[in-house]
Amino acid sequence: MTATGGFRVLAGCIVALSVSTLLACVNPGTPELTIAAASSLRTVLPDLIQAVPTSDLQVRATYAASGILRQQVAAGAPIDLMIFAADQPIDRLIQAGLADPETRTVVASNQLVLITPRRAPLITFESLGSLPAVSRLAIGDPRTVPVGQYAREALVRLRLWDRLRPQLVYGANVAAVLAYARRGEVEGAFVYATDARVAPDVVVADRASGDWAPSPLVVAALRQHAPAAAQHFLAFLLTDRAQAILRSKGFGPPPGHADS
């Protein structure tokens, strides 16, 4: 290929690329509803979206640790509905005027569990104190991940937090924590009961129940002036149908709600 020929091909490619990019911008397929959901909802949200009565609802969902999501909303991400795994990030957004306090709703509850890799020795929350110093436990980064905060809460109440600190490997989100456990790099990990259900290669060794156990909540809120579709979806989450789906995935009812 001569220099001129090559140049022409290059110019052609650039033009084609620019045109397709422009086209993509002009016609992006605008979703009617954008949801920011905590990672722990990855297993259940798609089913919930399917089950919503309104037929042609276009939904886009983004998943991350609640702390990260809060940051993204604060930075201006166009989110209509937030469903987080803790109340603190939601409340911070409400305080910042980015979420509507009237719409704050607890939609479900969860349970903190201690999992181990499949063939590892079983341990309990209370037996964690006697783990050898070389052992490691995976925990969501308590600075940003709600399940990590709940785990810390439990360990603090059990008076094990200070002793176990050098052995706690922080994961950026629940999926990371699960991965550590599945790969067998840690002796145990703290996740939600809902995550443990679907994870292969791990075993639920102990559930957090007792006066030291935290009560993880799934809290939702809408942004200020959210579209009707968002309000509709939020209301749907409290219906029996939605709650049944949540229950089927291992979530518990919101406190005060009638058990099914």
Residues at the interface with other proteins (CB under 8 A): 67-68, 71, 134, 136, 141, 143-144, 165-172, 183-186
**CB neighbours (10 Å) of residue 172?**
17
Question: What beta strand segments (E) does the chain contain?
Answer: 33-38, 59-64, 81-84, 105-109, 112-117, 137-140, 168-171, 188-192, 202-207, 217-222
Which residue number, 44 or 145, has a Cβ lying nearer to other proteins? 145
CB of residue 36 to other proteins, shortest distance in Å: 16
* Alpha carbon distance 72, 60 (integer Å): 15
CB of residue 170 to other proteins, shortest distance in Å: 4
Residue of 89, 67, 84 lying closest to 171 (CA atoms)? 67
**CB neighbours (10 Å) of residue 88?**
14
CB of residue 105 to other proteins, shortest distance in Å: 25
Which residue number, 172 or 238, has a Cβ lying nearer to other proteins? 172
The distance between the two most distant Cα atoms of the chain, rounded to a whole number of Å, is 79
Which residue number, 119 or 225, has a Cβ lying nearer to other proteins? 119
Which residue number, 145 or 226, has a Cβ lying nearer to other proteins? 145
Which residue number, 79 or 164, has a Cβ lying nearer to other proteins? 164
Q: How many helices (H) and strands (E) does the chain have?
A: 10, 10
Which residue number, 26 or 133, has a Cβ lying nearer to other proteins? 133
Separation of CA 45 from chain center: 10
Work out the angle at residue 34's Cα, subtended by the Cα atoms of residues 32 and 40, and round it to the nearest 5 degrees.
140
CB of residue 151 to other proteins, shortest distance in Å: 15
CB of residue 134 to other proteins, shortest distance in Å: 6
CB of residue 157 to other proteins, shortest distance in Å: 20
